Amino acid sequence: MLDELKTFIAVVEYKNFTKAAESINLSQPSVSLHIKHLEEYFNTTLIQRSIKQKNINITQSGYLLYERSKQMIKLLNDTKNDLLGYGNVVKGQLHIGASFTIGEYLLPAFLGKFAKAYPELELEVTIENTHNICEKVKNFQVDIALVEGTVPPSHFTIEKFYTDKMEVAVPYNHYLVNNYFSAEDLQNQTWISREIGSGTRQYLNLFLSNNNINAKNIIVFGSNYSVKEAVKNNLGITFISSLVIENSLKNNEISTLKTKQTYTRPFSYVMQKGIIPSKGTLVFIDMLKSYVENL
């Protein structure tokens, strides 16, 4: 039954029998047979096929089985990993998702320490924007995600683990550097931003809205490094994590404006709601919390 469920997951995700067969190294007839066995076992239609079987549609029952199948396989994998590490040694695999700011500027140093503490735990890291990473949690593609920005609580268990300071960053020797920030000074400026779906873009939009600032233009880049480099090269100004610009400030490449209030946002870890975390996930969370206390 486990093999049939894995086959069914592949068919749903590829929406194509041939591509699904290739992805799991089975023949197409074997894939069709697995689906037939599942439909007979559950006494329901999981997939509606066209006459030529080039197009397939997943039924409502099929999508229910797809979600439950992923949960069952994840539970089996987590159980296997926990049993491998039943003693004091933590073994198995841990797939971590992270949004860009965390994945590029906080996670690498932490993982260096974590990997030394748990050398027999295999790590895999996926870095994308907050929206995409949360989708991977929802689809059981990562065990735990570290994100900035707002996450809808309906599908996830969410807990804050760090408070990130946000700064208004401008080119070095910008004419506003020695002045306190005012909304009037920042009207009609060109802002450098991340793409929609990123936590950084979400907080830039919130900052502009709360301060009634009208942007002259917003130039979008797909990474924090590109945003920082754009500011450094006088393309515009930005609202960004202090973690991203820490070294650039030390090297006198960019500057930050003085603000009368401190702007912060939470970093949170996110997991699929209702899932029992693996032993590897639990030790990861414990060590992460201890690590950020010293930042």
Distance CA 269, CA 274 (A): 15
Q: How far is CA 174 from the centre of its chain?
A: 34
For the chain, the structural domain boundaries read: 2-79, 84-156+272-292, 163-265
Given this model, what pLDDT does residue 88 score? 60
Given this model, what pLDDT does residue 53 score? 56
Given this model, what pLDDT does residue 261 score? 87
Phi then psi dihedrals of residue 48, to 5 deg: -100, 125
Alpha-carbon Rg of the chain, whole angstroms?
A: 24
Q: CA 187 → CA 28, 29, 191, 241, distances in Å?
A: 61, 64, 10, 21
DSSP collapsed to 3 states, the chain = CHHHHHHHHHHHHHCCHHHHHHHCCCCHHHHHHHHHHHHHHHCCCCEEECCCCCCEEECHHHHHHHHHHHHHHHHHHHHHHHHHCCCCCCCEEEEEEECHHHHHHCHHHHHHHHHHHCCCEEEEEEECCHHHHHHHHHCCCCCEEEEECCCCCCCEEEEEEEEEEEEEEEECCCCCCCCECCCCCCCCCEEEECCCCCHHHHHHHHHHHHCCCCCCEEEECCCHHHHHHHHHCCCCEEEEEHHHHHHHHHCCCEEECECCCCEEEEEEEEEECCCCCCHHHHHHHHHHHHHHCCC
Q: Averaged over 156-171, what is the pLDDT?
A: 95
With a cut of 70, say whether residue 5 has pLDDT above it: yes
Common-topology check for domains 84-156+272-292 and 163-265? yes
Q: How confident is the model at residue 286 (pLDDT cuts 50, 70, 90)?
A: very high
Q: How confident is the model at residue 260 (pLDDT cuts 50, 70, 90)?
A: confident
Token pair for 11 = 């068919």
Q: Averaged over 258-283, what is the pLDDT?
A: 91
Q: pTM value?
A: 0.73
Given this model, what pLDDT does residue 16 score? 85
Given this model, what pLDDT does residue 171 score? 96
Put residue 291 in one of left, alpha, beta given phi > 0 → left and psi -120 to 50 → alpha.
Answer: alpha
Q: What is the architecture, at CATH level 2, of domain 163-265? A: 3-Layer(aba) Sandwich (3.40)
Q: Give the type of residue at 114.
A: F
pLDDT single digits (tens) 270-280: 999 888 888 89
Given this model, what pLDDT does residue 86 score? 59
Asked if residues 238 and 191 have their Cβ atoms less than 8 Å apart, the reply is yes
Looking at domain 84-156+272-292, its CATH class is alpha beta
% pLDDT > 90, the chain: 60
Given this model, what pLDDT does residue 78 score? 78
Token pair for 251 = 């090297």
pLDDT single digits (tens) 46-104: 998 766 656 788 999 989 999 889 888 888 887 877 776 655 678 888 999 999 999 99
Given this model, what pLDDT does residue 85 score? 60
pLDDT single digits (tens) 115-135: 999 998 999 999 999 999 999
Angle (CA) 62 66 67, round 5°: 125
pLDDT single digits (tens) 238-256: 999 999 999 999 999 999 9
Question: How many other C-beta atoms lie within 10 A of the C-beta of residue 283?
Answer: 18
> In terms of pLDDT, which residue wins out, 150 or 250?
250
With a cut of 60, say whether residue 33 has pLDDT above it: yes
pLDDT single digits (tens) 173-192: 998 887 777 888 899 899 99
Q: Does domain 2-79 have CATH number 1.10.10.10?
A: yes
Q: Give the type of residue at 42.
A: F
% pLDDT > 70, the chain: 96
Given this model, what pLDDT does residue 245 score? 96
pLDDT single digits (tens) 195-228: 999 999 999 999 999 999 999 999 999 999 999 9
